[in-house]
Structure formats: structure tokens, C-alpha cells
Chains A and B, each alone.
Chain A
Amino acid sequence: AQSVTQLDSHVSVSEGTPVLLRCNYSSSYSPSLFWYVQHPNKGLQLLLKYTSAATLVKGINGFEAEFKKSETSFHLTKPSAHMSDAAEYFCVVSDRGRNAGNMLTFGGGTRLMVKP
């Protein structure tokens, strides 16, 4: 069985300050992990993925995440927030080995708000 916990339902930062969105997971197998972003009334856009290569994963729009097996964490960070980063972010795990396309389990989501 697999599960994902996003520790914060809402995060508010000021423009230009760092972003940290926390995610912890549990998985019976070696997981594939993803971060997706969702803007209002839109589908999900892939920010980045971890599938067993480097533990520090760089994604689009300046985001990155670090896979820490000992802490079962996959936190999302960005050095400097932009107004356009305001959106809902989902941490997602896929089980069954390294097969990244298999059934996904979603975290509850974190709404990121960026203040001017």
C-alpha cells in the first residue's frame, strides 16, 4: 500500500522569498514520486519526477525536490517565489517499482499563495 501526506494545506509566502512545500510518503516498494501543479479550473501539469536517478530533482519554473529515503520525504522548494506560482500543488506517489505510469496516489494538496 502507498500513501502521501502533504503536511500543509495552505502556504503563504511573499514574492521573492523561498518556497517550501512538504510531502511525506509511504510505499511498500521503491516509489516513483512526482509533484504536479494545478491552476484554477485546469488539469495537472508535471513539475518534476523522481524515478531512481539523482535524489535531487530539478523541474520546470525553478522548482526542485529532494528524495530522502531515510526521512520518507520529497519536499518541493523554490528559491524565489513569483506571483504566477500561486496555485494548488500535489505530491504524488506511484508504486510497483520504478514504473512511473502506474496507478497514482495523490496527497491532499497544498494551496500556495504569493503575496506582493
Chain B
Amino acid sequence: GAVVSQHPSRVICKSGTSVKIECRSLDFQATTMFWYRQFPKQSLMLMATSNEGSKATYEQGVEKDKFLINHASLTLSTLTVTSAHPEDSSFYICSAREVDSNQPQHFGDGTRLSIL
């Protein structure tokens, strides 16, 4: 089945550091990828929709300068948390949608980001 690889799985770093998270579709092409944030014991919250070759669409309240998204190819999207602070600590999950959009989204295993 379709596999989405997310890397790294866990990051611990100091406040002020920028952190890049990668989301790759391993065996299919993904025209659209989605980035979610999940707080402890809560549901997933959509942050942005990433379309290959164009600018990402951010949800209301999500700072585009804080969370930089790049979707340079049909198999890779990256989320960069710039100048991270402790309040950015969270679980970040990506998903990818196949070119045949009748298929459901496939999710990565998530990245646990901890800012000290």
C-alpha cells in the first residue's frame, strides 16, 4: 500500500533553532500534501495544504512566516519551523493525497518536536 515517510520522528532542540521536517511519498506521486499539528490528548488540526509547485494555503491563525512549507516535487514536502520556541513543541503529522484523488489521504508517522 501507499507509504508516507516522515523524518525525523523526534527532535529536541534549543529555543531559537529552526527545524525542518520532511514528508515523502515513497511509492506514489502526491500532488497535495497536508500538514497537521496535534496537541496532547487532542485531535489533529490542519495547519496548511501544500500543492506541488505552488504556494501553500495556510489555515486561519497559522503564521506562514513561522511555518515555512515547500513542496518542490511530487514526492516531497517540507515544513520548517523557524526560530522555534517552547510553545511550538507539539506533534506534527503530514499526509499525502495520491494523484487519483478518490483515494484517501495517507499519513506519516509524525514528528515529536520538543523545544527547550
Contact = CB atoms under 8 A, between A and B. Distances in A.
Interface string B10-50: 00000000000000000000001010000001111010010
Contact of B101 (A102, A104, A108): A102
Interface stretch (A17-25, A34-42, A62-70): A34-42
B43 to A, nearest CB: 5
A44 B43 CA distance: 11
A74 interface: no
B103 A43 contact: no
A7 interface: no
A78 to B, nearest CB: 20
Given A41-B110, A43-B110, A101 B104 contact: yes
Contacts of B32: 101
Contacts of A90: 43-44
Nearest to A39: B109
B107 A108 contact: no
Interface string A38-62: 0001111110010100000000000
Contacts of A106: 43-44
B46 to A, nearest CB: 7
Chain B interface size, as a band, is 20 to 34
Contacts, number: 60
A98 interface: yes
Interface of A: 32, 34, 36, 41-46, 49, 51, 90, 94, 98-104, 106-109, 111
Contacts of A45: 107
Interface of B: 4, 6, 9, 32, 34, 41-44, 46, 49, 91, 93, 95, 97-98, 100-110, 112
Given A104-B46, A106-B44, A109-B43, A43 B109 contact: yes
Given A32-B104, A42-B110, 10 more contacts: A42-B109, A44-B93, A51-B102, A90-B44, A101-B32, A101-B98, A101-B103, A102-B101, A104-B105, A108-B43
Contact of B105 (A42, A51, A101): A101
A11 to B, nearest CB: 15
